[in-house]
Every structure is written in C-alpha cells, then in structure tokens.
Amino acid sequence: MKKIIFLTEAGKKKGFGHLGRCLPIYNAFKKILFETKIYVHSDVKKIQILNNKNYKIVSWQNSVHYISSAIQNADLVILDCLSISKKNYTFLLNNCKKILIIDDRDKQVYKNKEIIVDWSILSEKKISSANCTYIRGAKYAPLRECFKIKDNHKIRKKIIEVVITSGGSDQKNLVLPIANKLGQNYPKINFKVLIGPGFTALSKIKKLKKINNVQLIFSPSDKKIVSSIRSCDVAIASGGHSIYELARLGVPTIHFLVNKNQRVAEKWKETGFTYFVGWYDKKNFMQKISKALFKIQSIRKRKLMSKSGQNLIKANGADLIAAKLAKLI
C-alpha cells in the first residue's frame, strides 16, 4: 500500500485554513486505499476537525528531523504551510521520494522536480518551470464533503440574511466591528456570525448579543456552517479558502483581504462572483463593506454573481488531485 504523509499547520496564530484544505485531499486518498497520515505543527493540543483521522501534533517546523523516518518511508510528502526554513526544505528535497507543494500564492521559484498544486483563480495563466509538474486550475479546489452539493441557491428579491465569516481564528479581530457596523446600518437585515474554534476575543464578541439583528454561532459543525450559509442571501468573508466553498454554493460574496498570503484572492473580483472591498487596514474599510452591501442589493446583480461562482468551482477537486497523483507515484 502506497504511503502519503501531509506536513501542515493549524492553530490560533496561523489559523486552520491550511489544515482544512488538506483534509479533503486526505479523504480522497483514503478512498482509493492509500495509507495516509497528517503531521500538524500547532500551538493547540487538540483540534476537533482531526477527530477520526490518522494524525500527530508535532513541532515539525522546528526540525523535520523529528519525523525523518516517516518522510523517508513515504511515497509522497504533501507540504502545505505558510513558510518553511531553507534547512527543513533542503532536508525534504534530499529525503523525499516525491514531494508535492500546495502553493496558491507563488511563494518561491521551484526547480527541483517538485509537484506543484495551485487551484487559485486564473492560475492556469501562470508561467511554469520546465523542471516541475503542475496541477493548476480552480476545478482542483478541494472542498469539504458538505460543500460538494450543487445548490441552486435561491436568490430572494431582497437581502434578508447575511452570513459573516473571517476564518477559524479571525486573526485581525474583524468580526466584531463588521457585525457591529452592519447591524446598526441595516436594522432590517439579520446577520449570522460564524465564530471559529480559534477565536480569542470571545468576551468582546459576545457583546454583539445586544444587537437584536445579530446572531452568533459558536464553533459550528460543518453541517451547521452549510445550513447557515445556504439560508443567507449574501456572505461577507475574508479572502481564504472559504471563498471557494461559498462559490460552490452560489452565495454572492463581499470579500476582503487580511494577510499577504491572500493577495491572490484579489483575482476573484475578475470572475464576477465577488464584490472586492480591499484590505482590512485601509482607510474607510468598514464604510466600504457597508456600501458594498447596498451596491449588490439588485436581484439581477446577485443572480449573476451566484451563477459565476457555481460555474467556477467543481465538487470533486480533491478527487481530481488524488487521481492525478496516483499516476505519478
């Protein structure tokens, strides 16, 4: 049986995005009977989404030598993290039979016969290195099982409900000011705020309970996340992997950026699916979000946004990745 290991990260400081997008690929390999294991560098001791998975929380970013035996015995090592030291990366190159890098933001120039997976929007147009193998295109975006349905999202005449999400940890503590601003500016709209497991400013966020049209949903299950999104007319989201899931469901989205590694998400504005309001730390950011909600009130506008999103994202991205890789190892 072929062995595949994942090297990734998750926690309060780095969020849960990298681990979250590895899991559908992990599941896809399990379906075709590969032996899989995830090694997670983390600042937390327990991660709920890893229940029933073969995993180990280990500080591999401090030194990959901690798991050198697993690396050398694997048929494929899949790396997904914000950054890796030159020393650790060199060790991987010298000790892996094959290495795959999940890189949707062009972190570096590759020239060591790596396999590169990049499902970012319009990635097919990027220049490739002759020495590497590329798997590119939004059709490869891995989705959680609950998002694989193709939902004929109902576009209501008026915006009645809006979901607000800023990832699993809300690193810049934006949920509070966004919900507070919109809740007051749009008293006839109900706002659902998804509170992830890595949120740290909970005592402040709970103050939103005082606003009648703001509902807080704490540590929602995947099923609850999907039901919350499907019931809404618009989503407001940071530029992480959740945009692919929102596109799959066809929920018109207002999106913003919070980290440098999300720069590539700006290209979503070229697809017609999202209304892009810029970076969180720019002048008048809150006013821009409030105005954006007004600008997409037209049912015709939202129908076009919804259709654009669903045409871009397929249900079986992770399965397509696993099938391609199975032929390479």
Q: What is the predicted pLDDT for the residue at 274?
A: 97
Q: How many CB atoms lie within 10 A of CB 23?
A: 21
pLDDT given for residue 158 in this prediction: 97
Contacts 24+ apart (CB under 8 A), 70-76: 70/5, 70/37, 70/39, 71/5, 71/95, 71/96, 72/96, 73/3, 74/3, 74/4, 74/5, 75/2, 75/3, 75/4, 75/329, 76/2, 76/3, 76/4, 76/5, 76/100, 76/325, 76/329
In this prediction, residue 129 has a pLDDT band, given cuts at 50, 70 and 90, of confident
Pick from 319, 275, 309: nearest CA to 150: 309
DSSP code at position 150: -
Instruction: Set out the domains of the chain in order of their start, with CATH numbers.
Output: 3-143+315-326 (3.40.50.11190), 146-312 (3.40.50.2000)
Reported pTM: 0.90
Q: What is the structure's pLDDT at 264?
A: 81
pLDDT tens, 256-292?
999 877 878 889 999 999 999 999 999 899 999 999 9
> Does 198 have pLDDT greater than 90?
no
Q: Which residue has the tokens 């890789």?
A: 325
List pLDDT tens digits, range 107-125. Answer: 777 878 899 999 999 888 7
Model confidence pLDDT, tens digit, residues 227-265: 999 999 999 999 888 999 999 999 999 999 998 778 788
**Most confident among 122-136, 211-225, 259-273 (mean pLDDT):** 211-225
Mean pLDDT (the chain, rounded): 92
The confidence band for 33, taking pLDDT boundaries of 50, 70 and 90, is very high
Res. 193: pLDDT tops 90:
yes
- Asked if pLDDT for residue 314 goes beyond 80, the answer is yes
Residue 80 reports pLDDT greater than 80: yes
Of the listed ranges 128-137, 267-276, 300-309, 311-320, the one predicted with least confidence: 128-137
* Torsion angle of the four alpha carbons 311, 277, 105, 309, in this order, in degrees rounded to the nearest 10: -10
pLDDT at 268: 93
Strand 253-257's sheet: what is its strand order? 214-218, 190-195, 161-165, 234-238, 253-257, 274-279
Looking at 30-34, 82-86, 179-183, 287-291, which range is the least confident one?
A: 82-86
pLDDT at res. 250: 95
In this predicted structure, what is the pLDDT of residue 40? 97
* Of the listed ranges 108-122, 135-149, 180-194, the one predicted with least confidence: 108-122
Which pLDDT band, with edges at 50, 70 and 90, does 169 fall under? confident
